[in-house]
């Protein structure tokens, strides 16, 4: 009987050991997606890019043989729901990293992820997330565990106004050009507002009072008439593409001639087709290669795409490809973390902060070379400026310039 008890104890111990080994071979990752809600038009392709990339990483060997155990939750762009999901994850999944989405929820979670040492890679490119130590007097809260791929909203807007200043001069105009910010009264559209206005003034623009229009698609003729009356030469649209489609169509009906600029979420393949001629000439920020670009890394992107489209025939949007880039930067940070002794949130953070002009393996020519340090989480200040042309069912996306925005220390966290 004693022998049976001993054997039983050994079996229980061995099963417990096996369970802990199995758990150690799984890397818990959370994914907050916006597949529904007011930003779903851009949230669906971006989130799909993340899910496909995670599935592809697992299919092709994981992280040094370890599989990523990822949980995707559609939080519908609802910040309180995002915070509740995070708290639920921390009592169960216990993620070492999270792929997040919006500005309001990402900023609301900064203190949580810092305390819990969870590396947070967001689709919010708020400049407020770029100061890891709190050294900048403009920083609201230090964000040591927050990262994102691409230029911040502030730097992207600075790049656009730099382009606008060059455009104004190239057209032989004199006097001060007039610049206006347009967007909803919400953390995401407001994130670059003050920073971009300050740089516009520095470059010689007259900055006009901003105009509010809803993140939800709606008739915007009243806002367009206000824009027309303002005499603005350049208008920055800070919302996502769905509401920009409505705004541009409305402005087309009242004869607005302003040059529109918009952020990285504000324009894409779908909005070009949906807006038609009313969107021609808009200038916006593109943060990675396009589906049609013939660069080496597109072979990997097309293989990733087959995770949810086995036919390989579905063209992927700009946002999808950026979702892939952000996920693969996380993968590379995890590989570096493993080499430092284990894939923990703290080591993933250190992995990011070791990258210098880095591009994930297999994505050459697709993702922008990025650099993060322990004192500066601005991955890049390169801003690729594009314009689009609608051709009756077909369209073109043409690169106008690459603007290198100054990496000023006083702009850290702003």
Number of domains in the chain: 2
Tell me: do 273 and 387 sit in the same domain. Answer: yes
Of the residues 301, 334, 352, which one is the last residue of a structural domain? 352
pLDDT in tens, 224-274: 999 999 999 999 999 999 999 999 999 999 999 999 999 999 999 999 999
Percent of the chain with pLDDT over 90: 93
Within a 10 A sphere around the Cβ of 296, how many other Cβ atoms? 12
Task: Tell me the average pLDDT of the chain.
Answer: 94
Domain span holding position 299: 2-151+292-352
Structure tokens that stand for 125 in this block: 């490119």
pLDDT in tens, 139-172: 989 999 999 999 999 999 999 999 999 999 999 9
Mean pLDDT of 170-175: 96
Place 19 in a pLDDT band, splitting at 50, 70 and 90. Answer: very low
CA distance 175 to 29: 53
33 within domain boundaries: yes
CA distance 194 to 151: 17
Give the CATH number, domain containing residue 316: 3.40.50.2300
Of the residues 336, 352, 368, which one is the last residue of a structural domain? 352
359 within domain boundaries: no
pLDDT of residue 77: 98
Tell me: do 272 and 188 sit in the same domain. Answer: yes
Mean pLDDT of 330-336: 98
pLDDT in tens, 345-380: 999 999 999 999 999 999 999 999 999 999 999 999
Tell me: do 147 and 159 sit in the same domain. Answer: no
Tell me: do 300 and 237 sit in the same domain. Answer: no
H-only helix segments in 214-342: 221-230, 241-253, 269-275, 298-305, 318-339
Place 188 in a pLDDT band, splitting at 50, 70 and 90. Answer: very high
Tell me: do 53 and 8 sit in the same domain. Answer: yes
Tell me: do 30 and 43 sit in the same domain. Answer: yes
Tell me: do 192 and 261 sit in the same domain. Answer: yes
60 within domain boundaries: yes
pLDDT in tens, 92-108: 999 999 999 999 999 99
Q: Which of 268, 262, 321, 245 is nearest to 42 (CA)?
A: 268
For residue 10, pLDDT over 70 is answered with no
Tell me: do 116 and 104 sit in the same domain. Answer: yes
For residue 1, pLDDT over 70 is answered with no
pLDDT of residue 86: 98
Tell me: do 254 and 399 sit in the same domain. Answer: yes
Q: β-pairing, 234-237 with 259-262?
A: parallel
Tell me: do 80 and 146 sit in the same domain. Answer: yes
Q: Give the global pTM.
A: 0.93
Q: Which of 260, 258, 266 is nearest to 285 (CA)?
A: 266
For residue 25, pLDDT over 90 is answered with no
Tell me: do 77 and 211 sit in the same domain. Answer: no
Mean pLDDT of 375-395: 95
């Amino acid at each position: 009987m004693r022998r049976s008890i001993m054997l039983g104890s050994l079996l229980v111990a061995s099963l417990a050991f096996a369970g802990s080994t199995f758990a150690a071979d799984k890397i818990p990752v959370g994914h907050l997606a916006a597949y529904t809600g007011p930003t779903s038009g851009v949230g669906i392709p971006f989130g799909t890019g993340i899910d496909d990339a995670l599935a592809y990483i697992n299919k092709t060997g994981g992280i040094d043989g370890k599989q990523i155990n990822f949980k995707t939750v559609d939080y519908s762009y609802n910040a309180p729901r995002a915070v509740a999901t995070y708290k639920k994850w921390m009592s169960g999944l216990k993620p070492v990293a999270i792929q997040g989405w919006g500005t309001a929820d990402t900023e609301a979670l900064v203190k949580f992820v810092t305390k819990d040492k969870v590396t947070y890679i967001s689709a919010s490119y708020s400049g407020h997330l770029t100061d890891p130590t709190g050294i900048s007097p403009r920083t609201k809260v230090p964000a040591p565990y927050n990262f994102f791929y691409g230029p911040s909203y502030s730097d992207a807007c600075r790049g656009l106004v730099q382009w606008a200043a060059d455009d104004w001069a190239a057209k032989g105009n004199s006097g001060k050009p007039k610049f206006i910010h347009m967007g909803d009264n919400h953390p995401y559209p407001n994130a670059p507002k003050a920073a971009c206005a300050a740089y516009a003034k520095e470059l010689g623009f007259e900055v006009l009072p901003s105009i509010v229009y809803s993140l939800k698609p709606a008739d915007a003729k009243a806002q367009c008439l206000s824009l027309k009356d303002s005499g603005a030469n350049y208008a920055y649209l800070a919302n996502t593409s769905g509401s920009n489609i409505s705004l541009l169509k409305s402005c087309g009906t009242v004869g607005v001639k302003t040059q529109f600029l918009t952020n990285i979420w504000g324009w894409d393949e779908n909005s070009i087709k949906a807006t038609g001629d009313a969107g021609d000439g808009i200038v916006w920020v593109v943060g990675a290669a396009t589906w049609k670009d013939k660069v080496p890394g597109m072979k990997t992107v097309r293989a990733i795409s087959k995770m949810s489209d086995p036919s390989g025939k579905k063209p992927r949007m700009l946002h999808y490809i950026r979702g892939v880039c952000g996920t693969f930067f996380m993968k590379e940070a995890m590989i570096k973390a493993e080499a430092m002794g284990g894939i923990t949130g703290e080591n993933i953070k250190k992995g990011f902060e070791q990258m210098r002009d880095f591009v994930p393996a297999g994505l050459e020519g697709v993702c922008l070379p990025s650099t993060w340090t322990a004192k500066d989480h601005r991955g890049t200040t390169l801003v690729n400026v594009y314009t689009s042309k609608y051709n009756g069912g077909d369209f073109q996306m043409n690169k106008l310039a690459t603007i290198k925005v100054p990496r000023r220390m006083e702009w850290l966290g702003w």
